[in-house]
Amino acid sequence: MKIRRASAAVAAVATGALLLSACSSPASDDQPETEETTAAEETADTEEITDSCKVDTGVTESADGEIQYSAGEVQWAGYNGNLPDTYSTYNSVVNDRMIGGFMYFGVDGTVCQDEEYGSFEAVSEDPLQVQYTLADDATWSDGTPITYADYLLDWATQAVTVDGTITEDASEEPLFNNVSGLTLGDYVPEGPQADSADAKSFQYDYERVYADWQLNVSGAFPAHVVAEQAGVTVEELVTAIEELDMSVLEPAAEFWNTGWLSSTPGELPDPALVPVSGPYMLKEDGWIAGQSITLTENENYWGTPPATKELTFRFAAADTHVQALQNGDLDVIEPQATVDTIPQLEQIGSSVEVLTGQTLIWEHLDYNFGDSSVFADNLAAREAFAYCVPRQKIVDDLIAPIDENAVVMNAREVFPYQTEKYEEVTAESYDGRYDEVDLEMATEKFAEAGLEEGTEIRIGYSAPNPRRADEVAAIKSSCDQVGFNIVDAGDPEFFAAGGALETGDWEIALFAWAGSGQIASGQNIYASGRPQNFGGYSNETVDEAWETLASTVDESVHLEQTKVIESELWDTLYGIPLFAHPGVVAHSADLENVRFTAAQDGIVWNAEQWSRAS
Hey, how many other C-beta atoms are within 10 angstroms of the C-beta on 137?
A: 11
CB of 496 to another protein, least distance (A): 4
In the bound state with another protein, the residue whose beta carbon lies nearer, of 170 and 400, is 170
Task: Label each residue of 44-98 as H, E or C.
Answer: CCCCCCCCCCCCCCCCCCCEEEEEEEEEECCCCCECCCCCCCCCCHHHHHHHCCC
CB of 172 to another protein, least distance (A): 10
Backbone angles phi, psi at 95, to 5 degrees: -65, -35
In the bound state with another protein, the residue whose beta carbon lies nearer, of 59 and 288, is 288
d(CA 261, CA 269): 8
Hey, how many other C-beta atoms are within 10 angstroms of the C-beta on 334?
A: 22
CB of 65 to another protein, least distance (A): 11
Pinpoint the alpha helices (H) of 307-378. Answer: 321-326, 341-348
Contacts of 177-185 with CB under 8 Å at 24 or more apart are 177/83, 177/84, 177/256, 177/257, 178/82, 178/83, 179/82, 179/83, 179/84, 179/87, 180/82, 182/158, 183/158, 183/216, 184/155, 184/158, 184/159, 184/216, 184/217, 185/155, 185/158, 185/159, 185/160
Whole-angstrom Cα Rg for the chain:
29
In the bound state with another protein, the residue whose beta carbon lies nearer, of 75 and 147, is 75
CB of 354 to another protein, least distance (A): 18
CB of 32 to another protein, least distance (A): 5
In the bound state with another protein, the residue whose beta carbon lies nearer, of 503 and 532, is 532
Hey, how many other C-beta atoms are within 10 angstroms of the C-beta on 557?
A: 14
CB of 211 to another protein, least distance (A): 12
In the bound state with another protein, the residue whose beta carbon lies nearer, of 188 and 232, is 188
CB of 412 to another protein, least distance (A): 12
CB of 511 to another protein, least distance (A): 7
Give strand pairing partners of 579.
363
Backbone angles phi, psi at 405, to 5 degrees: -90, 5
- 3-state SS, residue 515: coil
In the bound state with another protein, the residue whose beta carbon lies nearer, of 164 and 290, is 290
Alpha-carbon separation of residue 267 from 101, 121, 294 (angstroms): 26, 40, 13
d(CA 314, CA 291): 6
In the bound state with another protein, the residue whose beta carbon lies nearer, of 329 and 444, is 329
CB of 212 to another protein, least distance (A): 9
CB of 348 to another protein, least distance (A): 9
Q: Position 243: which residue type?
A: E
Residues 6+ apart with CB under 8 A from 140: 146, 222, 224, 275, 276, 277, 300
CB 296 within 8 A of CB 310: yes
In the bound state with another protein, the residue whose beta carbon lies nearer, of 384 and 525, is 525
In the bound state with another protein, the residue whose beta carbon lies nearer, of 387 and 534, is 534
In the bound state with another protein, the residue whose beta carbon lies nearer, of 30 and 371, is 30
Which of 394, 79, 422, 398 has the alpha carbon at shortest distance from 263? 79
